[in-house]
Structure 1
Amino acid sequence: MPIINLSTTIQAPPAVCFDLSRSVDLHQVSTAQTEEKAIKGVVAGLMELGDSVTWEAKHLCVRQKLSSHITAFERPYFFADEMLTGAFKSFRHEHRFEAIAGEATRMTDVFQFTSPLGILGKLADILFLKQYMTHLLLERNRVIKEVAESGKWQEVLAIEKRVVL
């Protein structure tokens, strides 16, 4: 099972980073390159414990759907989402937020996934999938950092309207 560990330092309080990380709207901005769109469940606003969302996106030249739900939630320090259905056999994404010097936050992602197709899936993990997923997470974190540090977070979070389909 591949595990991706990323750490990003953001010059903003943990609560801001936490809320930006669970924003469906900001997630769609950070995944524009894959045309990711929330199509079912919470399709706008902030995710909460027990919420689910179905995403549609184009990954590796294939249009796919993936549903996940929030399985753990301790604002503003931790939440986890796990796959319900999708291209993976399973995944769990842990999001951790730790206050560090001043008003800064260490945002840590731990993303574990299991690919389908047995040995073929393991080969795909080694050849390209872990790198592909790391790139997606780094882009997501770059967008969160940019919004949090620029002050745009106030505008983004002020207009968050929760929409559930």
Structure 2
Amino acid sequence: MPIIKLQTTINAPVKVVFDLSRSIDLHKISTAQTNEEAIAGTTSGLIGLDETVTWRAKHFGLIQLLTSKITEFESPYRFTDEMVSGAFVRFKHQHFF
């Protein structure tokens, strides 16, 4: 499976960055131009361990539904979300702070 690594330096307290990274509302704001919507599961606020969110979004020219679940959670140092249904065979997204 391909692995993509992205590192960003943010001058803010780790807890603030950790929580903003879990914010459904901030994600909706950041994708406003593509009309991405949280339509099931946790649809606002902060997503946490064992919670899911289903997004409806247009990717690759097609309307798609993608459901992710938070499978690992260690506040404020890391969390992992994994696709449980969607267009890809497998998708695992690890966040480290």
> What band does the TM-score fall into relative to the shorter chain?
over 0.9
Show the counterpart of 1:33.
33
> Which ranges in structure 2 are unaligned for 5 or more consecutive residues?
none
Show the counterpart of 1:91.
91
Report the number of matched residues: 97
TM-score, L = length of structure 1: 0.58
1:82 CA displacement: 0.2
Separation of aligned partners in 1, 2:73 and 2:62: 32
Show the counterpart of 1:51.
51
Show the counterpart of 2:11.
11
> Which ranges in structure 1 are unaligned for 5 or more consecutive residues?
98-165
1:43 CA displacement: 0.2
Separation of aligned partners in 2, 1:77 and 1:89: 27
Q: Show structure 1 runs of 4+ deviating over 3 A.
A: none
Alignment map for 1:16-165 (pairs within 5 Å): 16-97=16-97
Question: More helix per residue: 1 or 2?
Answer: 1
SS of equivalent residue, structure 1 residue 69: strand
Report percent identity of matched pairs.
Answer: 60
Separation of aligned partners in 2, 1:33 and 1:5: 25
TM-score, L = length of structure 2: 0.96
Which has the larger Rg? 1
* RCO comparison, higher one (Cα < 8 Å, 6+): 1
Separation of aligned partners in 2, 1:34 and 1:89: 23
